[in-house]
Amino acid sequence: MTTSRRTFLGMVGGGALAAGLAACGSSGPSSTPGSTTGAAAGSGTTYWFLTGQPQQAIREAQVKRFNDANPNTKIKTTEFQNDAFKAKIKTAIGAGQGPTLIWGWGGGGLKAYVEAGQVEDLTDWFNGQTDLKNSIFPSAFTAATVNGKLYAVPGETVTPIVLFYDKRSFEKIGAQPPQSWGDIMDLVPKFNEKGIAPFSLGGQSRWTNMMWLEFLFDRIGGSEVFQNIYDGKKDGWSDPSALKALDEMQKLIKANGFIKGFSSITADSNADQALLYTGKAAMMLHGAWTYGNMKSSGKDFVTGGHLGYMNFPPVDGGKGDPSDTVGNPGQYMSISSKASSGDKDTAKKFIANNTLDDATVDAWVKSGNIPVVKSAKDKLSSITDKNDSEWLNFVYDTAANAKNFAQSWDQALSPTQAETLLDNIAKLFQLSISPQQFADNMNAVIGQ
Amino acid sequence: MTVTAPPVVPATGRNVSSGAGGSSVGRSGPVAWMVLPALVLFVVFGVVPLVGVVVLSFTQWDGLGPIHANGLANWRTVLSDPQTWHSVLVTFEIMILSWAVQTPMSLLLGTFLAGRQRYRAFLAVLYFIPLLLSSAAIAITYKALLDPNFGLGAGLHIDFLTQDWLGKSNLAIAVVIFIVSWQFIPFHSLIYQGGVRQIPTTMYEAASIDGAGRIRQFFSITVPQLKYTIITSSTLMVVGSLTFFDLIFVLTAGGPGDATRVLALDMYKRGFMSNQMGPASVIASIIVLLGLALALLLRRLGGSTTASQQEGA
């Protein structure tokens, strides 16, 4: 027993080292899981995309149609869950093992690929695709353009952030949906008195809180406030309108505007939606993509006509255009610059013929989504379900009539800025930093 | 922590004979090559990535483009960033508090389970269950149970349980410590159980004759005899808590705000969310250094003498 202790502790020390190494090894360049699985570059045209219905089935059908029509240049697909995809595609592209077709959200993430020379400049080719070009919403191109050049083609759906509300809760307190920010602040104590939380919020996800700031910045200071930040203008975050928006935000939090415990609720579990459709909260600011789940999980909430929705109301005295909206103007497909020219041609052909073809547009509309093409409007008349039809028309109008459709901040900014932003937003909502501290922290990383 | 522990424990038993027999010198030849497979694995998966991380900590890399050397810039940024020190503080807070909760509990449970009665063996099996579950599964379960709106408290209408458990800084840290303890007390109880069973019964018999009661026996015989077991178990706890990641990542994602953002989480966020591999590598290096320093410190506490426990008592 005597020497064993020493050997034992020696090995424990070794174990500690191994544990430390196991933890840090994952940040080293040697961990490139993308190199072993999936269809990697150089083995024909490849396409990675996200799982999750109804989107997954629509993407699979697109590839199937392409492969049936082009048996000699088939596209190989690999499917990933959202978070796994985000981590894996970055590592894979960095290691030169990425897919031919790079699916993404455009904006800051795309810019990082462009700066690393990983994606193909599609400007000239796409200018030749007049029909496709003219069919897509013009607002969808901003997030695909870097330094005046097009590096991605918009596809899939347009999903603005909207203010959802439960009509039953408003009946209970005998009030009307808010027409302004002042109305919102007035409604807060009325709902709290009745034991209903004014707003549902999945605060642990952080980007959920961010949607509030996106609207407040826009409604108070207009779209140029964030544009300045995006352009890397010095001290862009301490614009007076920005500080006022941050201050208003904290006023709402202090007035108990959000459900108790919001900072431990995640959006991934859809608990925030559940709070709305179970009547525990009266309103919720969330993406248009939540409609489908509220319809399927919320019993008669949607089918019984209890769900109401509107664009975010104006702030009294604010400079922003009340038609402005924020969200995802589309999803994007880029082509890897490392792919062979044959694979690039196949990828271009797929984008041109199969991503926004008639069958795809039909499928998107049937699933309760508005595809990024103008022709979506014509399809809406064929929807028979009254609730779905009203909803889709609302989403279409919100997106099409928006004077400015801003991209979600965490997608628009560089990954470095986005992470700092989300961190500081979480602290702002915890009331652990003041608006001025928030602005100072964010100004420090502006343009990075 | 659970991963590194099992191979360590049986190794002790094997080495007992080599020390006691005193013939280890003569056997060093054939023994040396037996180390080889482990050594190769350790170099490939341990030393090489470690060197890689240290090299990366002196570079600027976003994970996508080319890698540029930038000297000490990352170290300067990270060491002057209050976030780093906050993470160090949180890491130590969780480390020390979870040690303070786990050690007495495991010591008492281990002593209790060292008894030979049947029902104790049965209880030991029950107590062992939390260790069999994966951290991610435990985190998801607790997250659901603690949900202020749909969790246990709201479901059973127990007001005390309807707290914003993961939404308030102090509560969130307390919850993390509770879950960590719940998960690892069984493991440490097992170590103590083994330790207690090693104590010769003659010592207790002698103490009984001298009139020492149970409590006196516990503090005067059991605890001093377990000195080295305590150090072993503490080392595992302390060093293991440096690498807590999965549980906290799933449970709170470092929140609320950055209240539970431990070093391992800070490293992940810098590297894979902010695309800053250089600073992330600095944090990784700091974790390795801290782990080594703590392990060595605890070894020191054990004393360097080879005197047996029984002589010391």
Contact check, Cβ <8 Å, A264/B256: yes
User: Chain A: residue nearest B226 by CA?
Assistant: A5
The Cα-based distances of B151 to A262, B142, B176 in angstroms read 14, 9, 17
Q: Which of B121-135, B174-188, B244-258 has the highest mean pLDDT?
A: B174-188
Tell me the H-state helices in A128-232.
130-135, 167-173, 181-193, 207-221, 224-230
Specify the higher pLDDT residue, A231 or A52: A231
Q: Considering Cα of A227, then A232, then A237, then A239, what sign does the dihedral take?
A: negative
Look at residue A198 and tell me whether its pLDDT is greater than 90. Answer: yes
DSSP A401-448: H-S-EEEPHHHHS-HHHHHHHHHHHHHHHTT-S-HHHHHHHHHTTTT-
* Nearest neighbour of A16 by CB, restricted to B48, B239, B273: B239
Instruction: Determine the straight-line distance between the first and last CA of chain B, rounded to whole angstroms.
Output: 31
**Nearest-5° Cα angle at A405, A177 to A262:** 50
- The token pair at B246 is 């999965």
Q: Which residue has the higher pLDDT, A434 or A416?
A: A434
Nearest to B150 among A3, A17, A274 (CB): A274
Min Cα distance A384 → chain B (Å) is 35
pLDDT at B188 over 80: yes
Instruction: Name residue B49's amino acid.
Output: P
Contacts of B52 in chain A (CB under 8 A): 25, 28-30
Of A300, A326, A315, A327, residue with least CA distance to A387: A300
Q: What average pLDDT is seen over chain A? A: 83
Residue B102 CB neighbours (<10 A): 24
Taking CA–CA distances from A271, the nearest residue in chain B reads B150
Q: Residue A323, class by beta-carbon neighbours within 10 Å (0-12 exposed, 13-18 middle, 19+ buried)?
A: middle
DSSP A36: T
Neighbours of A18 (CB within 10 A): 21
Chain B nearest C-alpha distance from A444 (Å)? 12
pLDDT given at position B195? 92
CA torsion sign for B299, B301, B302, B305 is positive
In whole angstroms, give the CA distance from residue A175 to residue B134.
Answer: 48
Residues of B in Cβ contact (< 8 Å) with A431: none
Of the spans A209-223, A324-338, B155-169, which averages the highest pLDDT? A209-223
Partner residue facing B302 (CB), from A9, A260, A274: A9
* Residues forming beta bridges with residue A407, ordered by sequence position: A327
Q: Between A and B, how many CB-CB pairs are < 8 A?
A: 242
**A157: β partners:** A371
Token pair for residue B220? Answer: 């005067």
Q: What is the mean pLDDT of residues A280-305?
A: 90
Neighbours of A117 (CB within 10 A): 12
Q: What pTM was computed for the model?
A: 0.79
pLDDT classification of A290: cutoffs 50, 70, 90: confident
Check: CB of residue B165 under 8 Å from CB of residue B259.
Answer: no
Q: Concatenated DSSP letters for A281-339?
A: EEEEEEETTHHHHHHHHSTHHHHTT-EEEEPPPPPTT--S-TT-EEEE--EEEEEBTTS
Kindly state the tokens that stand for B16.
Answer: 């007992």
- Asked whether the predicted pLDDT for residue A388 surpasses 90, the reply is no
CA A354 → CA A60, A278, A291, A349, A365, distances in Å?
Answer: 11, 40, 26, 8, 16
If you average pLDDT over every residue of chain B, what do you get? 83
Has residue B299 got a pLDDT over 50? yes
Residue type for position B75: W
Asked whether the predicted pLDDT for residue B174 surpasses 90, the reply is yes
Please give the Cα distance from B90 to B173 (Å, whole number). 9
Q: Between A21, A93, A115, which is nearest B46 by CB?
A: A21
Between β-strands A46-50 and A149-150, what pairing exists: parallel, antiparallel or unpaired?
unpaired
Residues of B in contact with A275 (CB under 8 A): 149
Question: Cβ atoms within 10 A of the Cβ of A154, count?
Answer: 28
Q: Alpha-carbon distance A272 to A199, whole Å? A: 9
Distance, in Å, from the CA atom of A32 to the CA atom of B68, rounded to the nearest integer, reads 19
Q: With an 8 Å Cβ cutoff, are A12 and B167 in contact?
A: no
Of the candidates A9, A18, A115, which has its C-beta nearest B4's C-beta? A18
Of A37, A340, A191, A27, nearest in space to B278 by CA: A27
Interchain CB distance below 8 Å, A21 and B307: no
Residue B210 class from Cβ within 10 Å (0-12 exposed, 13-18 middle, 19+ buried)?
Answer: exposed
Higher per-residue pLDDT: B303 or A66 = A66
CA distance B122 to chain A (A): 29
CB A135 within 8 A of CB A373: yes
Contacts (Cβ under 8 Å, ≥6 apart) of A217: A225, A226, A241, A242, A245
C-beta atoms surrounding A272 within 10 Å: 27
Question: What is the mean pLDDT of the segment spanning B42-48?
Answer: 91
Quick check: A420 and B150 CB within 8 A? no
Report the SS3 class of residue B140.
helix
B63 CA: distance to closest CA in chain A (Å) = 6
Q: CA–CA separation, B303 vs A278, rounded Å?
A: 62
Contact A198, A258 (CB under 8 A): yes
Contact B107, B231 (CB under 8 A): no
Per the CB < 8 Å rule, is B281 touching A27?
yes
pLDDT above 90: residue A93: no
Using CA atoms, how far residue A398 sits from A133, A141, A370, A391, B304, in Å, is 21, 17, 11, 11, 74
Burial profile B251-280: b = 16 or more Cβ within 10 angstroms, e = fewer: bbbbbbbbbbbbbbbbbbbbbbbbbbbbbb
- What is the structure's pLDDT at B28? 56
* A161: β partners: A287
pLDDT for res B313: 39
Long-range contacts of A175-182 (CB under 8 A, 24+ apart): A177/A308, A177/A310, A178/A313, A179/A313, A180/A313, A180/A314, A180/A315, A180/A316, A181/A216, A181/A219, A181/A248, A181/A313, A181/A314, A181/A315, A181/A316, A181/A318, A182/A316
The confidence band for A164, taking pLDDT boundaries of 50, 70 and 90, is very high
Helices B118-132, B82-113: inter-axial angle, 10-degree rounding: 160
Average pLDDT estimate for A7-18: 41
Q: What distance in Å separates residue A60's CA from the closest CA in chain B?
A: 28
- Report CA dihedral (A117, A123, A128, A131) to the nearest 10 degrees: 110
Instruction: Measure the CA–CA gap between B306 and A297, rounded to whole angstroms.
Output: 66
Is residue A57 helix, strand or coil?
A: helix
Q: With a cut of 80, say whether residue A8 has pLDDT above it.
A: no
Residue A185 φ then ψ, to 5°: -65, -35
For residue A133, what pLDDT band results from cuts at 50, 70 and 90?
confident
Contact B208, B129 (CB under 8 A): no
Q: Do B277 and A27 touch (CB under 8 A)?
A: yes
Is B294 close to A16, i.e. CB distance below 8 A? yes
What's the CA gap between A265 and B15, in Å, rounded? 50
Residue B21 has pLDDT above 50, yes or no: no
For the ranges A118-122, A249-253, B217-221, the maximum mean pLDDT occurs at: A249-253
> Which residues, listed in sequence order, are joined to residue A80 by a DSSP beta bridge?
A50
Distances (CA, A) of B271 to A90, B63, B248: 11, 8, 17
Token duo for residue A70: 């082009």
Q: Which of A18-32, A241-255, A416-430 has the lowest mean pLDDT?
A: A18-32
Beta strand spans in A51-144 (E) = 76-80, 101-104
For residue A372, pLDDT beyond 90:
no
| B56, B143, B258 member nearest A28 (Cβ) | B56
Query: How many DSSP H helices and E strands does chain B contain?
Result: 17, 2
Q: φ, ψ for residue B216 (rounded to 5)?
A: -60, -45
- Joined tokens for residue A99: 């897919």
